[in-house]
Amino acid sequence: MEVVILPDQSAIAAVAADAIEALIRRKPAAVLGLATGSSPLGVYDELVKRCQSGGLSFADVVGFALDEYVGLPVGHRQSYREVIRREFTDRINIDPAKVQGPDGAAGDIPAACAAFEEALRAAGGVDLQLLGVGTDGHIGFNEPGSSLASRTRIKSLVDQTRRDNSRFFDSLDDVPHHVVTQGLGTIMDARHIVLIATGAQKARAVHDFVEGPVAAICAASVLQLHPHATVLLDEAAASGLKLADYYRHTYANKPAWQGI
């Protein structure tokens, strides 16, 4: 796991966007794994800028969302399908037919999750997966206790996550209790994982998953087993890390050709 501590969100966005741009230049039909929440928004803005200036094309890119609420009507403003469309895919030249996510409005949720897994396989898997992390260490919506080998399925949100996400809704009561999410095993299949965490409210989760034991109580800790996981942090999110100076030194002295 590579830990990179950067001064602010715009530096994080630039580093993540550079990795995505390099991938698309190498492989124009790259498969991107798209997260929602606040963490990736700066990266999306940066990619939109690069696309709109004519330098970067998403014409052949394929996108898979990480997760979705269950029970929100199709087209609901806070459904993750809508958020990804509004924040990212409507602003770039990607083919909307090439973007899909787990279907939280399906009549048969297990069948929809199996179909989503099949679509991921048929696309050849995710080349680069963007992630945020919850204050309880969740990635996707794999809450504490999730199987480290899990695949796309329905999950119940813990109260803390519902409270954290209530800022996007009119009231806490409006936040769904259920979600469909890529499993930890699904996420681990991505060839490169780039997780972004900013702010002091993430410091404890970051400490736990980067430097604590690999354990289902902190789902993101499974990333310690991934051969190519990059964690991009601001100073506040990194403030609980024991080896922060070592991570800073390593990144500062990294050969430029290496990228993340």
What residues line the site for ligand F6R (CB under 6 A)? 35-39, 66-67, 80, 132-134, 138-141
What does 54-83 look like in DSSP terms, one character per residue?
A: TS---TT-EEEESEEESSPPTT-TTSHHHH
Q: How far is the CB of 224 from ligand F6R (least distance, A)?
A: 17
Looking at beta carbons, which residue is closest to ligand F6R?
A: 132
Nearer to ligand F6R, 134 or 176 (CB): 134
Contact 16, 45 (CB under 8 A): no
Beta bridge partners of 229: 193
Nearest distance, CB of residue 195 and ligand F6R, angstroms? 9
Nearer to ligand F6R, 67 or 127 (CB): 67
CB nearer ligand F6R, residue 14 or residue 57:
14
Single-letter amino acid, residue 216: A
Q: CA angle, corner 217, sides to 209 and 237, nearest 5?
A: 30
In the complex with ligand F6R, the residue whose CB is nearer, 35 or 223, is 35
User: Minimum CB separation from ligand F6R for residue 258, in Å?
Assistant: 26
Report, in Å, the least distance between residue 257 CB and ligand F6R. Answer: 30
Judge residue 114's burial from the number of C-beta atoms within 10 Å of its C-beta, 0-12 exposed, 13-18 middle, 19 or more buried.
middle
Q: Which of 153, 158, 41 is nearest to 91 (CA)?
A: 41
Minimum distance between the CB of residue 164 and ligand F6R, rounded to whole angstroms?
7
Q: Are 89 and 63 in contact (CB under 8 A)?
A: yes
Nearer to ligand F6R, 58 or 80 (CB): 80
Q: Confirm if 143 and 137 have CB atoms less than 8 A apart.
A: no
Q: Which two tokens stand for residue 46?
A: 């940066």
Confirm whether 117 is a catalytic residue: no
Task: Indicate if 90 belongs to the active site.
Answer: no
Measured between alpha carbons, how far is 52 from 58 in angstroms, rounded to an integer? 11
- Whether 82 is catalytic is no
Q: Is-catalytic flag, 249?
A: no
> What is the Cα–Cα distance from 69 to 65, expressed in whole angstroms?
12
- Residue 181 to residue 167: CA distance in whole angstroms: 20
- From the candidates 68, 103, 117, 138, give the one annotated as an active-site residue: 138
The one catalytic residue among 103, 117, 127, 143 = 143
**Catalytic residue selected from 46, 127, 136, 164:** 136
Comparison of 44 and 247: residue with beta carbon closer to ligand F6R: 44
* Sign, Cα dihedral of 229, 10, 209, 182: negative
Contact 2, 246 (CB under 8 A): no
CB of 22: closest distance to ligand F6R in angstroms?
A: 23
Catalytic site positions = 67, 136, 138, 143
